[in-house]
Structure 1
């Protein structure tokens, strides 16, 4: 009875966390890998000892089932709207940037079955930024940073959009109140490197590839 209650509690807790916190899915994946390694190692040892007993696998298999349910629950969780239109350019761009990053911290972003959906979300944010840019509404330094971030994730990998992203990021980086902002300064370099690579040239700041402090 106690074991059943503990199991159901685990299902509920993991399901709740997976549904409301997308990053939790990555934690589950890490735990899943550890459990699979344990099961494989335990199976090999027991085969060598010729003493395979089901009780050795009860807890790992129970945990495995909880994790699988958690991952499925995470996939079923709806994504937030990719953009918002409040009439306030700064708020809209900040939201677009936040959703850009949120999508890349969601396991769905790395699953081929959701690739089309994720590219579509990038596209609608991209179009919003371009509309604001054409209307001359992106004037503040922080707004330029948000806009540049969205543009440098353009799903078609358009070199002209990478160039536009760099122009905005460079303008943001030159703002007095943003000269000490690491993310803003990093983006100015990253957009330049991505633009250069898109036209067949060498990157200058080595921001593309390897370990980065920002989601790309």
Structure 2
């Protein structure tokens, strides 16, 4: 072996062993801060529902919430238009905001967003639940029975208040609900009844306090 070739090999060896065996995995995309803030506000404001202690307060709360929801949907639409939804959390946050919309198109987009998020995070139970909930809301918006039973429809004007589940018989079974991160139908019906009782107690307490 010539001295020049040996010298060249000696120079090359350190560089060869400095190369990592596996390329580093690309960094996960950061969550969009504006969409995350919209989601946080959505959840925070909905937590105040239990504090409404009269039918008038419930009506006023619903009106304020609808206005805030519309503003949050604009945030999501801007992010979608600008290509800023990149992480699974982005899609989960955006789907949550859109499924709290008021039109069938909002729910259709919520389902699409949840489905996109599930492609990035197949084990994310919240995303599977959101896809099912958006399906139920879309069906109800079209005056069709829901499939999964995620959306109890409550009537606070009834005395006592009622919360019902209008579910299409045989549309999905409890195995499909479990796969979507949803409780069995019997449990959902019990939860709806409990919600109606809680609403009744909330309103009765307000009447008693007003006397």
The normalised TM-score by structure 1 is 0.50
**Unmatched 5+ stretches in structure 1:** 1-87
Using the alignment, how far apart are the partners of 2:46 and 2:149 within structure 1? 21
What is the CA RMSD across the aligned residues, in angstroms? 2.3
Using the alignment, how far apart are the partners of 1:116 and 1:206 within structure 2? 25
Using the alignment, how far apart are the partners of 1:129 and 1:164 within structure 2? 11
Deviation string for 1:15-63 (max 9, x for gaps)?
A: xxxxxxxxxxxxxxxxxxxxxxxxxxxxxxxxxxxxxxxxxxxxxxxxx
**SS state at 1:174 partner:** helix
Deviation string for 1:144-184 (max 9, x for gaps)?
A: 11001001111xx1101110111001111222xx3222222
* 1:104 maps onto 2:51 in alignment: no
* 1:93 maps onto 2:35 in alignment: yes
Identify if the C-alpha distance between structure 1 residues 202 and 126 changes in structure 2 by more than 3 Å, giving closer, same or farther.
Answer: same
Deviation at 1:125, TM superposition (A): 0.7
1:172 counterpart residue number: 117
Higher helix share: 1
**Unmatched 5+ stretches in structure 2:** 1-29, 153-188, 193-211
Deviation at 1:89, TM superposition (A): 6.0
Within 5 A, what are the aligned runs for 1:1-216? Answer: 90-106=32-48, 107=51, 111-154=58-101, 157-175=102-120, 178-209=121-152, 210=189, 211=191
Deviation at 1:100, TM superposition (A): 0.4
Using the alignment, how far apart are the partners of 2:70 and 2:31 within structure 1? 18
Deviation at 1:135, TM superposition (A): 2.1
Using the alignment, how far apart are the partners of 1:115 and 1:199 within structure 2? 21
In 2, are the aligned partners of 1:163 and 1:192 still within 8 Å (CA)? yes
Deviation at 1:188, TM superposition (A): 1.3
In 2, are the aligned partners of 1:148 and 1:164 still within 8 Å (CA)? yes
Using the alignment, how far apart are the partners of 2:70 and 2:97 within structure 1? 9
User: Which stretches of structure 1, 4 residues or more, deviate above 6 A after TM superposition?
Assistant: none
